[in-house]
């Protein structure tokens, strides 16, 4: 059965239809890549609870073109249509929330022909400009060259901002599970257990709860200064931290019901930090918690970024020691994948398209967001933290309760 009541999905459709009307679209095709609730598959999951059964983005073998993808065709006044190359018999009755379902030998050609059959040629949005492979896109254009497709990957940004009561309950469950998992991971790292054992402890908690994860990410020691995870592919190695090593752990992915959450913590193996380790860790945690405390209805991501800049400058970690520059942010929105970030530096906020990144959109109750930061000290190493929480009428509700400081 579907994860939420059908009325929940119907309410989501109406929000998308309203956004289509605001942007001037009469139809929209929303593409997903395979992988269930992972990254760009989350849009279709959010609208229908459908996920492809493919193992990943499979090569084109010359038949059933598009097995790694699915598409949803949306038209105001109509229930969404599912388009796939998978056998429709494999979709259990009542397991997804859609209207008609179509199976194609060639997915993008089939979708283009369906849109043409409906007499739609202009004001057609497609979500997936950075998802569809070039060969699939070319075939879609060749199949119906008269269709004027308009890429609009931000179509769902605004409809997904405010979570429903059912979604907030799902997030509370995700927060509780992720917190238990991260606590177990950090306890193992502080005790000097191998990274893979720490990851296994976290994984067991998530899987036993009926959830899933994208990455259980760990690092320790000197290599953690410049490299976020000890193994970029799996996220953890089989090495063991030594007493005195800075240790860092992260639990993230679609933890429960397809909703992403990504708390992270930093500590010291053996729990006896040096002066430098204590400073970088506690200063990083201070910035994260202060930004979280500032998050409330009415504030914007740009304003939070300015506030974070002042905190980082006050701590002495800004002009020359930005930290892990791969993620220069103070937080981000969260849904079926990451949403718009809270930027570091005013100049970064100025480069962001307000229609897409919503950097000047006031926070509202029902949003799920994070505060996070990354700081580096040449002697102590790199510290990083993240908190996840719900924006409420009066402030926020913390979802991730793993301890921040362990000494």
Domains of the chain with CATH codes:
6-151 (3.40.350.10), 165-398 (3.90.230.10)
- Residue 226: predicted pLDDT: 78
Under the banding of pLDDT at 50, 70 and 90, the label for residue 360 is confident
What's the pLDDT score for residue 160? 94
Q: Report in angstroms the alpha-carbon separations of 206 from 99, 253, 254, 303.
A: 33, 11, 10, 35
Which residues have CB under 8 Å from 45's CB, separation 6+? Answer: 32, 36, 37, 51, 258, 336
The answer on pLDDT for 127 being more than 50 is yes
Compute the distance between CA of residue 244 and CA of residue 221 in angstroms, rounded to an integer: 8
Residue 330: which of 386, 404, 259 has the closest Cα?
A: 386
58: left (phi over 0), alpha (psi -120 to 50) or beta: beta
Q: Which of 4, 69, 262, 46 has its CA nearest to residue 156? A: 46
User: Confidence class of residue 41 from pLDDT cuts 50, 70 and 90?
Assistant: confident
Backbone angles phi, psi at 97, to 5 degrees: -105, 90
In percent, the amount of the chain with pLDDT more than 90 equals: 71
24: left (phi over 0), alpha (psi -120 to 50) or beta: left
Distance of CA 122 to the CA centre of its chain: 32
Q: What is the mean pLDDT of residues 19-43?
A: 82
Longest dimension (CA), the chain: 70
* pLDDT tens column, 307-345: 988 888 887 665 544 444 457 788 999 998 888 777 666
**What average pLDDT is seen over the chain?**
90
CA atoms within 13 A on the CB side of 60: 13
SS (H, E, C) the chain: CCCCCHHHHHHHHHHHHHHHHHHCCCEEEEEEECCCCCHHHHHHHHHHCCCCCCCCCCCCCCCCECCCEEEEEECCCCCCEEEECCCHHHCCCCCCCCCCEEECCEHHHHHHHHHHHCCCCCCEEEECCCCCCHHHHHHHHHHCCCCCEEECCCCCCCCCCCCCHHHHHHHHHHHHHHHHHHHHHHHHHHCCCCHHHHHHHHHHHHHHCCCCCCEEEEEECHHHHCCCCCCCCCCCCCCCCCCCCEEEEEEEEEEECCEEECCEEEEECCCCCCHHHHHHHHHHHHHHHHHHHHCCCCCCHHHHHHHHHHHHHHHCCCCCCCCCCCCCEEEEEECCCEEEEEECCHHHHHHCCHHHHCCCCCCCCCCEEEEEEEEEECCCEEEEEEEEEEECCCCEEECCCCCCCCC
State the average pLDDT over residues 291-311.
Answer: 92
- 188 has pLDDT over 50: yes
Q: Is 337 exposed, middle or buried (0-12, 13-18, 19+ CB in 10 A)?
A: buried
Angle between helices 165-190 and 195-208 (to 10 degrees): 150
Query: pLDDT at position 227, please?
Result: 85
Q: What is the pLDDT of residue 46?
A: 93
pLDDT of res. 38: 59
Q: pTM for the whole thing?
A: 0.93
Which tens digits make up the pLDDT trace of 239-278? Answer: 999 999 999 999 999 999 999 999 999 999 999 999 999 9
């Amino acid at each position: 059965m579907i994860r939420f009541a059908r009325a929940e999905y119907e309410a989501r459709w109406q929000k998308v239809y309203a956004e289509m009307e605001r942007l001037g679209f009469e139809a929209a095709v929303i593409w997903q890549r395979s992988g269930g609730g992972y990254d760009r598959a989350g849009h279709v999951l959010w609208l229908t609870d459908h996920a492809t059964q493919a193992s990943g983005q499979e090569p084109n073998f010359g038949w059933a073109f598009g097995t790694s993808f699915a598409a949803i065709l949306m038209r105001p006044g109509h229930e969404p249509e599912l388009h796939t190359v998978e056998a429709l018999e494999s979709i259990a009755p009542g397991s997804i929330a859609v209207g008609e379902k179509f199976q194609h030998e060639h997915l993008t050609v089939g979708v283009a022909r369906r849109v043409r059959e409906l007499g739609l040629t202009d004001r057609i949005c497609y979500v997936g400009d950075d998802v569809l492979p070039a060969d699939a896109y070319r075939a879609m254009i060749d199949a119906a060259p008269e269709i004027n497709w308009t890429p609009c990957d931000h179509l769902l940004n605004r409809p997904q901002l405010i979570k429903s009561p059912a979604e907030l309950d799902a997030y509370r469950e995700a927060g509780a599970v992720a917190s238990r998992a991260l606590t177990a991971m950090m306890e193992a790292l502080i005790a000097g257990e191998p990274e893979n054992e720490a990851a296994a402890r976290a994984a067991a908690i998530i899987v036993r709860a009926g959830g899933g994860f994208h990455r259980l990410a760990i690092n320790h020691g000197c290599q953690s200064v410049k490299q976020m995870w000890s193994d970029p592919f799996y996220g953890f190695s089989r090495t063991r931290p030594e007493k005195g090593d800075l240790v860092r752990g992260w639990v993230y992915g679609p933890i429960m019901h397809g909703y992403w959450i990504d708390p992270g913590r930093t500590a010291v193996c053996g729990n006896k930090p040096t002066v430098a380790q204590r400073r970088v860790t506690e200063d990083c945690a201070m910035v994260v918690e202060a930004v979280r405390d500032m998050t409330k209805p009415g504030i914007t991501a740009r304003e939070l970024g300015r506030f974070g800049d002042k905190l980082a400058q006050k701590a002495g970690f800004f002009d020359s020691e930005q930290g892990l520059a791969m993620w220069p942010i103070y937080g981000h929105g969260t849904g079926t994948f990451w949403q718009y970030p809270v930027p570091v530096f005013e100049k970064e906020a100025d480069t962001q398209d307000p229609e897409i990144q919503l950097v000047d959109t006031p926070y509202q109750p029902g949003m799920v967001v994070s505060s996070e930061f990354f700081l580096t000290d040449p002697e102590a190493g790199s510290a990083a933290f993240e908190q996840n929480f719900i924006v409420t009428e009066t402030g926020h509700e913390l979802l991730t309760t793993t301890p921040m400081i362990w000494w």
